[in-house]
């Protein structure tokens, strides 16, 4: 609880403008690259990725590039409250501020609302959360995603449901957001490609914390597997209801669940899928983890590593293009094969991650244990690739 309170306090004091530099006031660089970050900053789960973005910017200023003229970096943090209208205002503010790139937004609705604005200004917009796959199908050169979208996530969820859990009667519980609707539709379609078994879906409000009715209806259908396709911010309420109703069906969460205290020693049927491979097999991940914990005093969540990758890649694009001009940075991002903290990151012509990978986790006592990797590249099943 204290951690949650601290996160909200930190968010409120950091929203308007954050300048992160070891020697911000005395920086002698001739050029400054502004990096925008927009999300609903008061969500507790956003603190970790915000800190990771800040760390990437700070590290870049502590270890300046030796090639070309010096470029320093500053971070602009804005709270879009997951409201598309406010997100549009923030996007226009970023454009007027001449940012070199934007990390975010968090939700599908805010990503789709702002994409055209950034495209018109040639500003790269890098998404690090699993928003709708539609985001990188808009036809813009400025939309990028460093993890898979709903299409890829749904495919992995369906693969786990049919071929790992051998689900016979599957129910998908999602919400009425565009993200969850898209995810649920693809899950249903992908399960149907793999099995003749029954798949049904139930929908709740994206704002609700009440899952009593939906889970009661679900259990009347006697499912052996329930797939959760709603928001990460609704997972705790959902799981509390699962426990209260004594549900023992297998529960499979979409991404974000491994960041939350969902453990229950009386129910060993809780699973989750997260983007990426097993992080503990990657030396660069271990270094990131140690640096983050030393700097902030707590363990980074899964969103933090993705946010760090997005920011560090953007910074490298700025440096390699030797420019703070957003259009030049965008062009360079399309050419990059960046060594992230858990493997290479490269984009398709649309800006989608070229080889999205997912790991299936099982909640065992007080830990999430990786049990299976889903990837088109079979080499990644064994862990982190060698440089």
Classified as helix, coil or strand, 94 is: helix
Which of the two residues, 30 and 251, has the higher pLDDT score? 251
Q: What is the pLDDT of residues 206-216, one digit of tens each?
A: 999 999 999 99
Q: Is the pLDDT of residue 380 over 90?
A: no
Q: Which residue has the tokens 């200004």?
A: 121
As a whole number of angstroms, the distance between CA 297 and CA 258 comes to: 19
| Mean pLDDT value across residues 306-328 | 97
pLDDT band for 382, please (50, 70, 90 cuts).
low
Asked which of 52-56, 264-268, 297-301 is least confident by mean pLDDT, the reply is 264-268
Q: Is the pLDDT of residue 92 over 50?
A: yes
Q: Which residues contact 244 (CB under 8 A, 6 or more apart)?
A: none
DSSP letters of 129-152? S---GGGGGSS-SSEEESS--HHH
| Mean pLDDT value across residues 195-200 | 87
Which of the two residues, 96 and 22, has the higher pLDDT score? 96
Query: Across all residues in the chain, what is the average pLDDT?
Result: 89
Is the domain 2-147+281-345 a CATH 3.40.50.2300 member? Answer: yes
Which tokens belong to 269? 């049927």
As a whole number of angstroms, the distance between CA 219 and CA 247 comes to: 8
Q: Note the pLDDT of residue 10.
A: 54
Residue 127's DSSP bridge partners are 145
Which regions of the chain does DSSP assign to beta strands (E)? 31-39, 71-79, 101-104, 125-127, 143-145, 169-175, 198-204, 225-228, 250-253, 270-275, 338-340, 343-345, 358-364, 367-374
Q: Please say whether the beta carbons of 132 and 179 come within 8 A.
A: yes
Asked which of 64-73, 79-88, 232-241, 244-253 is least confident by mean pLDDT, the reply is 64-73
Using CB atoms within 10 Å of the CB of residue 385, give its burial: 0 to 12 exposed, 13 to 18 middle, 19+ buried.
middle
Show me where the domains of the chain are located: 2-147+281-345, 151-275+358-382
Q: Note the pLDDT of residue 343.
A: 86
Which tokens belong to 153? 């996530």
Q: What is the pLDDT of residues 336-350, one digit of tens each?
A: 999 999 889 999 999
Q: Note the pLDDT of residue 69.
A: 73
Q: Is the pLDDT of residue 332 over 70?
A: yes
Percent of the chain with pLDDT over 90: 77
- What dotted CATH number matches 151-275+358-382? 3.40.50.2300
| Mean pLDDT value across residues 296-312 | 96
As a whole number of angstroms, the distance between CA 16 and CA 36 comes to: 11
């Amino acid at each position: 609880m204290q951690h949650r309170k601290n996160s909200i306090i930190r968010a409120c004091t950091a929203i308007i403008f954050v300048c992160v530099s070891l020697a911000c006031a005395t920086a002698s660089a001739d050029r400054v690259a502004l990096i925008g970050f927009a999300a609903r900053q008061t969500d507790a789960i956003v603190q970790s990725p915000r800190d990771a973005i800040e760390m990437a910017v700070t590290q870049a200023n502590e270890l300046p590039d030796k090639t070309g003229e010096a470029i320093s970096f500053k971070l602009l943090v804005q709270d879009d409250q997951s409201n598309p209208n406010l997100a549009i205002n923030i996007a226009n503010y970023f454009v007027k501020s001449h940012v070199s790139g934007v990390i975010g937004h968090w939700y599908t609705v805010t990503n789709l609302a702002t994409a055209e604005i950034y495209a018109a200004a040639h500003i790269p917009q890098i998404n690090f959360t699993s928003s709708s796959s539609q985001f990188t199908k808009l036809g813009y050169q400025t939309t990028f995603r460093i993890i898979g979208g709903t299409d890829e996530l749904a495919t992995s969820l369906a693969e786990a449901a049919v071929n790992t859990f051998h689900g016979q009667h599957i129910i998908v519980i999602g919400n009425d957001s565009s993200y969850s609707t898209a995810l649920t539709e693809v899950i249903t379609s992908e399960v149907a490609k793999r099995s003749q078994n029954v798949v049904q879906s139930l929908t709740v409000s994206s704002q609700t914390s009440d899952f009593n009715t939906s889970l009661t209806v679900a259990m009347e259908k006697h499912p052996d597997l329930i797939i959760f396709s709603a928001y990460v911010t609704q997972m705790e309420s959902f799981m509390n209801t699962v426990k209260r109703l004594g549900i023992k069906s297998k529960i499979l969460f979409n991404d974000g669940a491994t960041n939350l205290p969902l453990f229950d020693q009386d129910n060993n049927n809780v699973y989750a899928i997260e983007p990426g491979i097993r992080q503990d097999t990657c030396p660069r991940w271990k270094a990131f983890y140690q640096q983050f914990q030393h700097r902030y005093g707590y363990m980074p969540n899964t969103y933090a590593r993705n946010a760090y990758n997005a920011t560090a890649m953007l910074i490298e694009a700025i440096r390699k293009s030797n420019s703070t001009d957003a259009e030049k940075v965008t062009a360079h991002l399309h050419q990059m094969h960046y060594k992230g903290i858990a493997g290479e990151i490269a984009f398709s012509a649309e800006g989608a991650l070229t080889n999205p990978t997912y790991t299936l986790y099982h909640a065992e006592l007080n830990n999430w244990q990786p049990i299976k990797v889903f990837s088109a590249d079979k080499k990644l099943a064994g862990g982190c690739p060698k440089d």
